[in-house]
Structure 1
Amino acid sequence: MKVFFKLNWFFKLRKKEYVIGLTMLALVAILNLIPPKVIGYVIDEMGSGELSPRSLAKWIGIIVAVAILIYIMRYYWRRMIFGSSNYLAKILRQKLFRHFTNMSPSFYQQRRVGDLMAHATNDIAAVQQTAGGGVLTLFDSVTTGGFVILAMAFTIDWRLTLIALIPMPLMAVSTSYYGKLLHSRFREAQAAFSDLNDKTQESISGIKVIKTFGQQEEDTADFTRLSNDVVDKNMKVARIDSLFDPTISLVIGLSFMLSLGFGAKFIYEDTMTIGDLVAFNTYLGLLVWPMLAFGMLFNIMERGSASYYRIEQLLSVPVEIDDMVDALDVKPNGDILFDIQQFKFPGDQANALHNVHFMLKRGETLGIVGKTGSGKTAILKLLLREFEGYTGEIKFGSHSIAQYKKQRLRESIGYVPQDHFLFSASIFENIAFNNPNEKMEQVERIARIAHIHEDILRFSEGYETVVGERGVSLSGGQKQRISIARALMLNPELLILDDSLSAVDAKTEEAILKSLKEAREDATTIITSHRLSAIEHAHLIIVMHEGTIVEKGSHNELMSLRGKYFEMYQLQQLERLVEKGGEVNEK
């Protein structure tokens, strides 16, 4: 019953609908008591020879009127109760989705996509069933069962009613025991479903890699293993669930046996009529549904309780990075000051950054180079305010980035990550993601800056070409340039290209950088790259090594130092020499 108390906030929210629905349900339970009594009267009138056509028509009319009223009321209680449960599902989905969008990257690093999807689908469906079918079975089993028992006791024979209820404690003890087993097994089944969901999502996303390495059979075997685990755990749930109906049927059967035996005795003693016994057994038949509903209730409650617990756990994870009280509701602009003494990623022991200091004036370009893991992306993550917990300060304009609202900060930054994500939509919709109503002329202008316009025109549908999930139908270079165009559509104060030109050739890279320089003359740009040709033109270049800056300056200044940057440049020149032939030029 705990799950109903936990959902009390929702029942209060939909109080009107539930009151109407449950009232209708109670009236249906009362109206259902009339036909068995009518049948008893008809049988007694037949036995005494008093049944006439007029009397029979009266009884039939009563039953027809009751049936019509029941029909109408069942329609409305279903609308009120099941309609409210659908509303609960909507609220929970919105809560989860808002929670997901507010969480920082560390949240997703610790959780699998498939598991989060299972929370938003399977778990919510189980809670929805609790607020709909659970409320129905609880109220209906209590009201219908209660009204039937009262009708049996007060309108027929209280002694026979007590005798018929003797087996009921057996049902209460059994169903309570089954419910406890069901709770733990259902949680295991939900966890297994999450694993399978995650495996499915991962395999579909990585199908190209799986096929390239010829791992279809191994991946299918792994999927089959997880699928079998889901079946096994759900079968354990089903084995417990399947005990409810036979147990209840056994109890009801014992009640029928007792009522027929003792009812016959009472008729023989002339303390009960045959019509009363028929009516009593008809009422007893009406108890079958409340008893079955009572068994179903344990199933529904335990499923709902386990699922709601999983949802609560997810929603209880605090938002790590949130807006300050009275945060600035303006887009930042101006110079960027990056002054970090120390920063560690959550859960890491080693510093990701230490003693990283630089000033980037508005309109300048910063180039960041270094080996993989040197701290390049960590700098960008802090600028985007995806992580906090550092020692130092980051300013954008005259204020710390923490003083701005997150939404305003990120509206001022156009970020093109290493892992390019395109939505399963048209190329136009992907580029105009920030403003779906943008004019085609503006989208084409931006596409020309990103040097993707000509490629788009070669597609059969042009800008209306659907790229497929994650841009599966495009090449790596095309995805990169569309991602750059999407970032440029923001007209950002700061454009960040995180190794975003790695999949294009040197000629296209040079053309894109030239276009960006012309189009963003007064705006700030940060470029990280392994290819030094992408950052040669930068006003300031920093060389990262093991989380700190080891060299800083312009291209010419760094070349004159003959340090790490010089070595990297010479090595890349040598690679070009091998590819094209010629001499290595020192600058």
Structure 2
Amino acid sequence: MKVFKDLWWFFKKEKVSYGLGIVVLALVSLLTLTPPLIVGIIVDHIVDVTLTINILLMWVGVLLLIGILTYGLRFVWRVLIFGASIRLARLLRNRLYEHFTNMSHRFYQRHRTGDLMAHATNDIRAVQMTAGQGVLTLVDSLTMGGFVIITMAATINWKLTLICLIPMPFMAYLTSYYGTLLHKRFHLAQSAFSQLNDTVQESVTGVRVAKTFGQEEDEINRFKDKSNEVVERNVAVAKIDALFDPTISLIVGISYFLAVVFGARFVIADEMTIGQLTSFTLYLGLLIWPMLAFGWLFNIVERGRASYDRISSLLAEKQDITDDFAKSDNKATGDIDVSIQKFSYPGSDDYALQDIEFTLKQGQTLGIVGKTGSGKSTIIRLLQREYDIEHGVITIGGKRLEEYKLDDLKASFGNVPQDHFLFSATIADNVAFAKPSASIKEIMNSCKLASIHDDIIGFKDGYETVVGERGVTLSGGQKQRIAISRAVLPDPNVLILDDSLSAVDAKTEEQILESLRINRAGKTTIITAHRLSAIKHANLIIVLDEGRIIQRGDHSTLMKGDGWYRRMYEHQQLEELVEQGGQQDET
């Protein structure tokens, strides 16, 4: 019953609901004891030939009244206890979601999306059942069982009661043993469900890739394998679960056998009446439910304990990016100074960056270029403090990143990542995500700045067009430009374009960059790109190779040298001329 101890904090929080619910539940158990007693009285009247219509009607009326009261009280305890368990589910779900949103990228490297979804659905459902059905079953089995045993011993025959309880310790031992096995197997079943969730999430997200490469059959087989594993794990749980009822039924059957054998002897010895034996057997029937409930309780509790352990271990993970050293209440603004001796991602022995040093004055534009995997996006992540730096320091306006509150630091940046995620909402809602209070005029202005306004008004529903999941109804260039308009809407101190112009043509790229230069005068801009035309206007350009700066300067300075930048720029210019020539030949 460890899970009840673990949930004690919530039971104290909801002490009124649980307290009243338990009292009402106990009253229902007491009322349930009355019908067998009345039946016994009526049987004795029949045996003694003293039963009259008035007596029969009186007891029938009492039974009807008890039925009505029991009906009403059962409604009350369900609202109280089950209502509290639903609030627990809401509380845990909110805690998990808040925890997810506050965790850093390192957390999401360790946990897969499907597993996190399983925690927030199946595991919470199991804990909710423990706090609702589990509490009900525990209280009902103890109160009903206790009241029945006391009533049988005190009002009928204590010796027969003790005889019928002889098999009960065996039931307690066996159900406890089954519960231990159930806990282990249910934990494995929940893990298998998490993996299945992962598979579904990845398959649905990457369905276009699977279709492009004709891998539908392989994806179906992969899903079937995971689904079969879930079935196997849950069948293993069901096998243990299936042992409870037969075991309890066998124990109860033995108790019935003892009641009939020894009860008959007591009746013959005039220690009991036939009516009392009838009442006793009916009470023994009432004892079946507490025994079955006790077995079911182990099932519920062990499932809830396994799930609560999984949820607790997740919530116990600490944030590695915190406000512990924050001193400033202002947004980050000013010159950016970067000095990184070395940096490697968690779990990796290879350095992603080494000896990175540069200064970017406020209002200037920084261009970061280099081959794929050279460290461009890593610098962007560190600037936004997605990871903390152990060997080095980044300052903005003379203050280390750690001195700014995370909310203020995030509000200082407008970021357009390589993976331009759009929500399944309207275009206006997607743009306004960075500033929910923005007016439609502000939204339209930011879209004009990103050269997407004309495309939007060409849609049937304009800014109210629903883009579909992850922007599926839009082209790559349109999604990029909407992401840019979302980033510039709040007018951040630092705008980051992380290879965010790759899907637009050269003319559109030039229009966007020119609009940014005019509208963001005095604000800092950082651009990473593979196409060098996107950064040739930058005040400072750094060229990365294997995490190191191999060249730095502005466009004209770098073109004078004989390095990677000049060779790549001339190569791209040649490619552009060939493409233009090809188009001219066709015309």
Give the TM-score taking structure 2 as reference length. 0.97
Which is further off, 439-448 or 497-506?
A: 439-448
| 1:326 Cα deviation after fit | 5.2
Aligned counterpart, 2:254: 254
- Does the 8 Å contact 1:241/1:299 carry over to 2? yes
1:439-488 deviation per Cα after TM superposition (whole angstroms, max 9, x unaligned): 21111111111011111122221111111111111111111000001001
Is the 2:102–2:319 Cα contact (8 Å) retained in structure 1? yes
User: How far did 1:325 drift?
Assistant: 4.9
Match of residue 442 from structure 1: 442
- Residues 325, 339 of structure 1: alpha-carbon distance in 2 compared, 3 angstrom cutoff: closer
Aligned 8 A contact 2:326 2:404 in 1: no
| CA distance, structure 2, for counterparts of residue 327 and residue 195 of structure 1 | 42
CA contact (8 A) 2:529 2:535 kept: yes
Q: CA deviation at 1:310?
A: 0.7
Q: Deviations over 1:335-369 (max 9, x none)?
A: 11112122111111122111111111111110010
Between 250-259 and 282-291, the greater mean CA deviation after superposition: 250-259
Partner of residue 126, structure 1: 126
- For residue 402 of structure 2, what is the aligned residue in structure 1? 402
Q: Distance in 2 between matches of 1:389 and 1:294?
A: 55
* Code of the aligned partner of 1:454: D
* Shift, 1:108, TM fit: 0.6
Residue 526 of structure 1: aligned partner? 526
- Which residue number corresponds to residue 576 of structure 1? 576
Structure 1 residue 164 displacement after superposition: 1.2
> CA deviation digits over 1:38-83, x for unaligned, max 9?
1111111122122222222221222122222212221111111111
Look up the equivalent residue of 2:274 and give its one-letter code: I
Return the offset for 1:555: 0.3
Is residue 561 from structure 1 mapped to residue 572 from structure 2 by the alignment?
no
Please show how residues 468-483 of structure 1 align to structure 2 within 5 Å: 468-483=468-483
For the 8 Å contact 1:336–1:396, the answer to whether it is kept is: yes
Deviates more, 1:376-385 or 1:319-328: 319-328
Partners of 2:287 and 2:461 in 1: how far apart? Answer: 65
Secondary structure of the structure 1 residue equivalent to 2:362: coil
* Alpha-carbon distance in structure 2 between the residues aligned to 1:386 and 1:462: 35
* SS of residue paired to 2:433: coil
Instruction: Report the counterpart of residue 418 of structure 1 in structure 2.
Output: 418
The answer to whether the 8 A contact 1:423-1:469 is kept is yes
Partner of 1:141: 141
3-state SS of 1:459 partner: coil
Supply the distance in 2 between the matched residues of 1:16 and 1:110 (Cα, whole angstroms). Answer: 40
Runs (5+) with no aligned partner, structure 1: 583-587
Q: Which amino acid aligns with 1:122?
A: N
Q: What residue is the counterpart of 1:239 in the other structure? A: 239
User: 2:247 is aligned with what amino acid?
Assistant: T
Call closer, same or farther: CA 1:340–1:302 in 2, change over 3 Å.
Answer: same
Mapped to 2, the partners of 1:569 and 1:140 lie a distance apart of 79
Shift of 1:97: 0.8
| Corresponding residue for residue 507 of structure 2 | 507
| Whole-Å separation in 1 of the counterparts to 2:410 and 2:325 | 18
Q: One-letter code of the match for 1:280?
A: F
Offset of 1:434 from its aligned partner? 2.5
Give the corresponding residue for 1:363.
363
1:112 is aligned to 112
Match of 2:71 in 1: 71
Contact kept in structure 2, 1:447 and 1:482, CA below 8 Å: yes
CA deviation string 1:421-444 (max 9, x = no partner):
001111110001123342211111
> How do 1:177-576 and structure 2 match up within 5 A?
177-325=177-325, 327-576=327-576
Q: Percent identity?
A: 57
Amino acid at match of 1:370: G
Q: Which deviates more from structure 2 when the two are superposed, residues 269-278 or residues 55-64?
A: 55-64
Kept in 1, the 8 Å contact 2:425–2:466? The answer is: yes
**CA distance in structure 1 between the partners assigned to 2:489 and 2:278 by the alignment:** 79
SS for the counterpart of 2:556 is helix
TM-superposed CA distance for 1:374, in Å, is 1.1
Cα RMSD after superposing both structures: 1.2
- Check whether the contact 2:325–2:402 (CA below 8 A) recurs between aligned residues: no
> What letter corresponds to residue 550 of structure 1 in structure 2?
I
Paired AA for residue 554 in structure 2? S
Code of the residue aligned with 2:183 in structure 1: it is: H
Q: Which residue in 2 is equivalent to 1:27? A: 27
1:96 CA drift (Å): 0.8
| Equivalent residue, structure 2, for 1:585 | none
Of 472-481 and 69-78, the range deviating more from structure 2: 69-78
Partner Cα distance (2:471, 2:571) in 1: 34
Counterpart AA for 1:16? V
CA contact (8 A) 2:342 2:391 kept: yes
Q: What SS does structure 1 have at the residue aligned with 2:434?
A: coil
For the 8 Å contact 2:382–2:389, the answer to whether it is kept is: no
Which amino acid in structure 2 is aligned with residue 162 of structure 1? L
Higher mean C-alpha deviation, range 359-368 or range 388-397: 388-397
2:145 partner letter: G
Q: Which runs of 5+ in 2 are unaligned?
A: 583-587
Residues in 2 aligned to 1:270 and 1:12: alpha-carbon distance in whole angstroms? 51
SS at match of 2:217: helix
Report the Cα distance in structure 1 between the residues aligned to 2:522 and 2:199, rounded to whole angstroms. 47
The number of aligned residues is 582
8 Å Cα contact 2:93-2:120 kept in structure 1: yes
Alignment check: 8 A CA contact 1:344 1:390 kept: no
Give how far 1:162 is off: 1.1
Instruction: Say if 2:368 and 2:528, in contact at 8 Å, map to a contact too.
Output: yes
What's the CA shift string for 1:270-314, capped at 9, x where partnerless? 211111011001100101110111011111111011111111111
* C-alpha contact (below 8 Å) 2:326/2:402 kept by paired residues: no
Q: 1:156, 1:537 → 2: CA distance?
A: 99
Q: Secondary structure at the match of 1:250?
A: helix
Q: CA deviation at 1:524?
A: 0.6
Residue 388 to residue 325, structure 1, CA distance change in 2 (3 Å): closer
Measured after TM superposition, the shift of residue 574 of structure 1 is 2.1
Does the 8 Å contact 2:30/2:147 carry over to 1? yes
Query: What residue is the counterpart of 1:101 in the other structure?
Result: 101
**Residue 50 (structure 1) aligned with residue 45 (structure 2):** no
Query: How much does 1:234 deviate?
Result: 0.4
Contact 2:21–2:76 (8 Å) recurs in 1: yes
> How many angstroms apart in 2 are the aligned matches of 1:479 and 1:529?
17
Tell me the distance in 2 between the aligned counterparts of 1:326 and 1:78.
Answer: 48
* 1:321 partner SS: coil
Mapped contact 2:449–2:512 kept (Cα < 8 A): yes
1:151 CA displacement: 0.4
Alignment partners' CA distance in 1, 2:437 and 2:201: 31
